[in-house]
Structure 1
Amino acid sequence: MQIAIPKEIKNHEYRVALTPTGARELVGRGHAVTVQAGAGDGAGFADTAYEAAGARIEADVARLWDGAELILKVKEPQPEEVARLKEGQTLFTYLHLAAEESLTRGLMASGATCIAYETITDNQGGLPLLAPMSTVAGRMAIQAGAHSLEKAQGGSGVLLPGVPGVAPARVAVIGGGVVGENAARMALGLGAEVTVLDKSIPRLETLDDRYQGRMKTVFSTADAIDEAVRESDLIVGAVLIPGAAAPKLITRAMLAEMKPGSVLVDVAIDQGGCFETSKPTTHAEPTYMVDGVVHYCVANMPGGVARTSTQALTNATLPYVIALADKGWRKALADDTHFAAGLNVHAGRVTYAAVAEAFGLSHAPITGLLA
């Protein structure tokens, strides 16, 4: 199969969809891997490393896309990339379509088969291709939040761990999944006072047992969120509804109850954000102020640590890429119902129910497409 690895063009996105190690695995199975010149530079993978792995380097972007059967990316395609997609091609990347109607309609118009990393499931009910980037984003959320608390960044001037004789910062994490646990773990390790809010009692029990009560676990209710808003120095939004838009848990009116210079880090921004005042930002300008509260809403947080993120992403995606390359998308998805959950758009139709519902579009069940 002809596999293309374009250079990511989203603002300050330094990751690449495949490492040279991954390229070598695919070439060894008889597939042709073409990498856009400089695609791996931001993550520290030179063109020569891909060539040594058996991949071909292509400087002509149009030729790269036009000759591809399978296109591997990291972030959702930008408008000029959507324009390059065509019927018969398979796109495999993060899509987060429930927050992007124009992108959804653009992918429908392309006629391509579009498979989203973030909606693929596993036997345990997890999201195996979202998990590695969720781990990175959760850990980065505390780094970003701690930096944003500095006075020069508009924050309240609170040091996360405090010092002897001075209390540590209070950190609330809304959502106890992969992002939330990693954020809480980082905050706890830095010495902050940490509270995790979640609606799953079993999940709260797991966290309580795992961390031996060192972090507070609270069942998430409107009252509990109100208290977190009033008491916290840093709040991390880590709520996920797979494939659907994130719920708005903190309204603009609630910001008036927060301490001046408090920080909101919205890791759910790819899915529309879980704070009413959230809007996507970039690594170039990561924060903005609303009513005296610092908002950090970078939509591609893991791109800031591109080498670690690229390696972690390839580790997770490679088995699925091999299946697509060896079998083609239809058989690969038919053989694995969990993989099939990743199909979001095919031949002009939306195949993922939550995305169709978000925009009032008709839903084409995947079962009919795989028959």
Structure 2
Amino acid sequence: MRLLLSCARPGPVEQQAACIRACLQDAVDWSLLCHLAQHHHVVPLLSRGLQTAAPQAVPAAVRRWLDEQMHVSIQSSLHLTRELLQLLARFQQRNIQVLPYKGPVLATSLYGDLSLRPFGDLDLLVRDQDVLQALDVLLAAGYQILRPAAVATGERPLQMKRVCHLVSRSSWAYQLVLWQPARQVLVELHWRPLPRYVFPASPQFLWEDLDAVSLGNEVLLTFSLENLLWFLCVHGAKHRWQRLSWICDLAHLLEARPDLDWSKLMARARALGTQRRLCLGIFLAHSLFQVPLPRPVEHQMGSRADLGSLARPVMAGLLDGAGQDEDLLHPAAVAFQVRVMERLADRGRYLLHLARKVAPGAVADWARTVRHASL
């Protein structure tokens, strides 16, 4: 894991190379290293780091595997990027404003290279009132609804009626997952960045603060870097930071742009009830990748004793080498979500949503775990 972190960390190349060579002084379980890199979606960063610092130290079989993985990743990234640009042209023809985020936009914004950040689908955000039109564009392009299952079945009018219900009333639905079988592309069409039971506030602020990103010969609008950092933190917290790549994204953003508008970012996080999630993400990036804490938030981070207790199980899960996803309905995962939420109303909404989904015995397990958690 030290070797993997050294390869994935941002910063000066020589400093990174020195850390990698120091790690290679010890015996390396190359099979485990490759498994962890694949699980945490950082194979390209591992490959680049080893190639830069000590290519002669890598066994021939591992070099071949890395080359194969890189070839597949690059081809997939180019394929998905082409599809994204074609879809955005279709949306533009219909005057539908769409914000692409994650995927090729994130790879370009944070790494400057599509090949360094693997992605397997395309994420698009539209406004509530544009969901049906955007869905119509995707269906006309040969996409089929996969999830939610209740929407995927039935004739087109029934599908549209069910989508309307989800957009206006559902506490859990925030996206449609669609598949293009001929081109083998998965698209997630979002009208919210997160479900209401995790983040109930309006996502309108994401539309009011945009940045331009060059992708190929096109200039696309996407989240501002401040909003991207906010999203990465709340998204990572939703999944209990089970992938190293999510923290790596944060580290690269913080390293490249220490001049973010921190006063605005922290004020918005407080207003949205997500400051603890924001601070936890920054704390993890600092702890694992030695990214300097931004000065405007250094004092704020130092005064939060809750961050260490929240971060410890996350880092233990990443660093123990298990590389296993944890069930998000596990009592420990539920306790984490309750602790990372700041407002009682948000905790209650989250627990009520889960209580409707599982057996009564599981609710009792959650209650015991949460009771012992320091809230």
TM-score tier (shorter) = under 0.3
Structure ranking higher in helix proportion? 2
Q: TM-score, normalised by structure 2?
A: 0.26
More relative contact order, 1 or 2 (CA 8 Å, 6+ apart): 1
Structure ranking higher in strand proportion? 1
